[in-house]
Chain A
Amino acid sequence: MKHILQQVFRSGKFVTGFSIFMAIILIVVFYPMIITDAPLSIIGQGTFFPPGIYVSVYDSLSSTTYILNLDDATTKRITNKLNDEDRVSIKEWLVAAGIPESEIDTTDTQKLLDQWFTNYDSQKNVPGMTNAKRNYYVRLNTALKSLLSPEAAAVMQVNPLNNELEQIGTINQTDYVNVGEVANIRILPLGTDNFGRDVLTELVSATRVSLQIGFVAGIIATLIGLTLGLLAGYIGGFVDDIITFITNLFIVIPPFVLLILISFSIGQEQRGAFTIAVVIGFTSWVWTARAVRSQVISLRNRDHVNLSKLSGHSIVHIILNDILPYILSYVIMAFILQISSGILAEAGLSILGLGPRTTDVPTLGLMMNWAMIYQAHILGNWWAYMPVLVTIALITFSMNLMNTGMDQIFNPALRD
């Protein structure tokens, strides 16, 4: 036993898979201890906030201001404001005004602005320009000018006594606040989803629930498959015929179709995560049962089983002591595969809208479902679905790695 474990942990594939899987488990366990927010609480008003650090503007106003004179502050500010479309428009205008195209570089903000301010003339008639376009350039010019102006912004507040607007302060371009002193900051590493929920917190929680679904489904499927496989394989005869008949029934109807039908008939409101796990478990034992059965058949005529019979042991004793240990490694492998296929099945169901009801817990499948419904993939809001995909891929990948690693050890071509 010790040697087998040693061997298993010496297999590169297994160790890689195991490390990835353990890392996922650790994150799932420890993350909620650090970030204690409810995973489904809606924090953002609006959909799909991009990933980043969110700093409260209101709190920034009342924080101590520090003056920093930084040379490139202005440029940065403008670079940030000036979007790509504007830049292209500026270039168009400049080209039309006769500047050689080779001299214009839309990425060099400072030079572009210099060229603009020296050349732009609202009166100048550029051939072929529509009126609307002309107005656009006027607006753009004003916006740029105000950006460049060193004027401070005024902060106003309504005076509750007379309902008048009063200036309570100014914000200069050189004013800074220390983020550490701002009372409210929120880091959203993966932004928010369509409902305005923190994607990362939701993802961690979803991973946990999905793993739980996988485990429950895996345990149920493995237990059913193992029991039926052992009985069919060892007892044979009539029992085998019945069990094989049932198994064949399940094989004729693809399990996923069955899963869809059952899920659908249970109805949205009855479908909790646990129910889904049970349903997945009850529809995916077939493969395990068949595999266990054929393993047992190759074992039941082995001489150590015969010896056990001759020693007067009961069927139960023989199955538990002389058969089960031999197929245990195999069952563990099947169990791991069941977990990962359980997770995939849940994802598949949820994408079709037949997953657990959407109100209590997130699952990886539900997150995909929401992202799809709100067209995150079309809008380019990658943070709403990519991390989910990566998580699913990592879980299944790590489990399959563990399995192949074990397979190489447990099933060498020649045993010795």
Chain B
Amino acid sequence: MANTMLEVKDLSTKYVTRFNEGVYAVDRVSLKVEEGKSLGIAGESGCGKSTLALSLMGYYFPPLHYMNGDITINGNNISGLKAEDVRKTILGKEVAYIPQAAMNALNPTRKIIHFIEDVILEHEMYVTKKDIYGRAKKLFETLGLPPEVLQKYPVELSGGMKQRTVIAISVMLLPKVLIADEPSSALDVTSQKMVIKMLKHLMEAGFISSMIFITHELPLLYNVVDDIMVMYAGQIVEKGSSHEMVFDPIHPYSKGLMGSIIVPEKGLRDVKLTAIPGVPPNLKKPPAGCRFAERCRFVRPECRVTDVAMREAEHGRMYRCIIPEAELREAYAREEHKNG
């Protein structure tokens, strides 16, 4: 049985705004990533994926606040630790984070090589600058970045170059768990492939034990991760293996999401993509019942009343809906039949 690298139980976190209101962006999330496995997170933008990523590291600073839940990283329970301790002991070596704002994360007044020197020197004592340069150069090459990039300032790089630079900086220390928040949003398909190849290589070689990958590009996600988790309005609505999730989603939201994948093939231009009308609920006061109720085709009166729990489907999959799996599948089949 493989080691569990990252386990989270019932984690809830919130933002406290300037007006002292809570934005409950992560609500009772439980997940588990085993050694050698990777987990993908998808979901509507604004549903709390980045917040979950930040919360997973136990690194809380205002306005983000921890509410409750347990976080275990590589066997250490870190839920009670102070931000400063987490920064010193966990970040970098145990968990590394590639922020979504990667393109904006580099201080514009310093050269790339200086960031890398800083990161390495903070954790390793006996390295020479030449060593660091050599290591950085090698890593940059596997990401398709020319070594001259090391001597440039962030403003002199293209969006994709900056993003790859941040990825390189984050994996430089070979963290046990890597959390990547939309690491490829500015990358062309080829660079994307290079990044994925490098990450897969690091995982296969055992340098990185587990990975959490957040992206909106479902085809990419499908190819990268073992399991996919779909989030909606701060909650997990469905999880399962990536193949099941892409080809056989159960929850109506996942179904809608998977239905809007664009792949460049003939005839696509005439197809009307599935869209789910409406907007997600306000996370300041989430509704009492099912959070997806307002936008759901199959909504029933009882949906709006009680909190819906995750329930088990076949193959140990989980989804959050009061309608039984079989009934949902039937409804999907009927719809498909109607559309031809």
Contacts and interface: CB of A to CB of B under 8 A. Distances in A.
Contact of A294 (B106, B109, B169): B109
Interface stretch (B97-105, B192-200, B258-266, B285-293): B97-105
Contact of A298 (B18, B63, B108, B119): B108
B109 A414 contact: no
B108 A414 contact: no
Given A294-B109, A298-B108, A3 B115 contact: no
A295 B18 contact: no
Given A3-B63, A414-B115, A295 B109 contact: yes
B155 interface: yes
A392 to B, nearest CB: 31
A414 B155 CA distance: 15
Interface in A381-416: 411-416
A301 interface: yes
Contacts, number: 32
B214 to A, nearest CB: 16
Contacts of A302: 108
Interface residues of A, number: 15
A409 to B, nearest CB: 12
A55 B172 CA distance: 74
Interface residues of B, number: 18
A207 B124 CA distance: 46
B123 to A, nearest CB: 13
Contact of A413 (B62, B63, B104, B118): B118
Contact of A411 (B62, B107, B119, B153): B107
Given A298-B108, A298-B153, A299-B108, A416 B63 contact: no
A6 B62 contact: yes
Given A413-B118, A414-B115, A298 B104 contact: no
B101 A416 contact: yes
A298 B104 CA distance: 12
A6 B18 CA distance: 13
A79 B153 CA distance: 74
Nearest to B18: A2
Instruction: Find the residue from B63, B108, B110, B118 having the highest chain A CB count within 10 A.
Output: B108
Contacts of B99: 416
A284 B109 CA distance: 23
B55 to A, nearest CB: 14
A1 B288 CA distance: 34
B62 A414 contact: no
A295 B153 CA distance: 13
Contact of B109 (A2, A3, A6, A298): A298
Given A414-B106, A414-B115, A416-B105, A298 B62 contact: no
A303 to B, nearest CB: 9
Interface in B110-152: 110, 115, 118-119
B155 A298 contact: yes
Instruction: Find the residue from A6, A299, A415 having the highest chain B CB count within 10 A.
Output: A415
Contacts of A298: 108-109, 153, 155
B18 A301 contact: no
Contacts of A411: 107
Contacts of A295: 109
Given A3-B62, A3-B63, A298-B155, A415 B109 contact: no
Nearest to B114: A413
A302 B103 CA distance: 11
Interface string A278-304: 000000000000000011001101100
Nearest to A411: B107
Contacts of A415: 104-107
A414 B101 CA distance: 11
A411 B107 CA distance: 8
Nearest to B117: A413
A415 B110 CA distance: 12
A415 B99 CA distance: 10
Interface string B213-251: 000000000000000000000000000000000000000
Contacts of A294: 109
Contacts of B153: 298
Nearest to B103: A303
Contacts of B109: 294-295, 298
A411 to B, nearest CB: 7
A3 B169 CA distance: 27
Nearest to B63: A3
A61 to B, nearest CB: 67
B150 to A, nearest CB: 16
A299 B110 CA distance: 13
A413 B115 contact: yes
B87 to A, nearest CB: 11
B107 A414 contact: yes
A415 to B, nearest CB: 6
CB-based closest 6 A-B pairs = A298-B108, A413-B118, A3-B62, A298-B109, A415-B105, A414-B105
Given A298-B153, A412-B107, A413-B115, 4 more contacts: A294-B109, A295-B109, A298-B155, A415-B107
12 contacts: A2-B18, A294-B109, A298-B108, A298-B109, A299-B108, A413-B110, A413-B115, A414-B115, A414-B169, A415-B104, A415-B106, A416-B105
